[in-house]
Amino acid sequence: MTELTRLVRPADAAELAELYSANREHLAPWDPARADSFYTVAGQAEVLATQLANHALGIAEPRVIVEDGRLVGRVNLSSIAYGPFRSAILGYWVDRLSVGRGLASGAVAEMVTVAFDGLGLHRLEAGTLAHNLASQAVLARNHFERFGYAPRYLEIAGRYQDHVLFQRLNEPETP
């Protein structure tokens, strides 16, 4: 089986700058407000350097989603915690031209395997805007369960917005 995701590389900066620029309007309702520099090669190089440094510390798993040799999105584990918590936060997005083809669901499934089998985590958490039904469907397909509602949880698109919180535990599923 071919992997859909891989660890980011410094050499991805140019392609990611182009991908983020092409998806700026598509992602705007779901992302924090971003400085113009974020959409540049230098901006992406800085982001990747930070993410790879966090990966080296064991607190992040920054990946790209790849289809036919080209980048079509991102999927990340952040805030990885070990000890008794053994948890991480999952985030993902897919290029506007690739939405609806199962790429997000496949990438999330890979990250579940990375988190549970590779990193030995017990829990993954993901939050979606309350009205982001497509992202909620991705999580449901991957056996995440809703566990909470967080009013004004994150600053998205320039204002604090409510989020639905989901989790998946590394335990045998019960029927």
For the stretch 49-75, pLDDT in tens is: 999 999 999 999 999 999 999 999 999
More confidently predicted of 138 and 29: 138
- Please list, in sequence order, all residues whose beta carbon lies within 8 angstroms of the beta carbon of residue 152, skipping any fewer than 6 positions away: 160, 161, 162
**Predicted confidence band of residue 143 (pLDDT cuts 50, 70, 90):** very high
| pLDDT at position 108 | 98
CA torsion through residues 159, 153, 112, 145, sign: negative
| pLDDT at position 2 | 65
| pLDDT at position 172 | 75
| pLDDT at position 42 | 98
Residue 115 confidence (pLDDT) above 60: yes
Residue 1 confidence (pLDDT) above 60: no
**Cβ(145)–Cβ(123) below 8 Å:** no
| pLDDT at position 116 | 98
- What is the C-alpha radius of gyration for the chain, rounded to an integer number of angstroms? 16
Please give the average per-residue pLDDT across 20-49, as a whole number: 95
Q: Which residue has 């988190």 as its token pair?
A: 115
Instruction: Give the C-alpha separation, 89 to 80, whole Å.
Output: 7
Residue 175 confidence (pLDDT) above 60: no
